Amino acid sequence: MLTTIDDITAAQRAGVQTFFNMTNEVVSGIEKLVQLNFGVLRDGTQRAMDALANGELPGAASVRRGDLSVIERTALYNRQVFDIVASTQAAIVRHATAQYEAQVSTVQADLSDAAQRAPAGAEVAVTAMNSAITAANAFYESVWKTVQQAVDTAESNVNVMTRSVANGSHAA
């Protein structure tokens, strides 16, 4: 039970550390997106400059050389963005889950300690609290599974789109 200043300080420190870990993951994800965008911009600019240097229209030069089509590059870009967002989201969820599990563990230990010290007849209250914790855990698990299914579905859709674009461009 959080009864001492040290316990409260440790709990606050853990919360702040989790916040910083999650913030670092977000900043890292944004950094990867910025690097990806600069790379795409640099490559597109270089393709256009090469085409203009050869006296061609930028789009026409890439078609003659057999470069990736605009659709293929867009699909690849979307796939890379999705991968960055999904990995960032997974890292944030890992940090949040670890903090959640630590808090649940603390609450359960506190409840167990309180149950041992409780006067006779308090079993009903202890059972109610245990039921509430179990219900909260079940809710958390169902939300987590729903989020994971949504991520899996989005990833599957991106994979299908990428494959269909690749197959369509190779057929053409």
Helix, strand, coil distribution of the chain in percent, nearest 5: 90, 0, 10
* 87 Cβ neighbours under 8 A, 6+ residues apart: 29
pLDDT per residue over 82-100, tens digit each? 889 988 988 888 888 888 8
Q: What is the chain's length?
A: 172
pTM higher than the cut 0.75: no
Domain boundaries, the chain: 5-171
Model confidence at 63, in pLDDT bands (50, 70, 90)? low
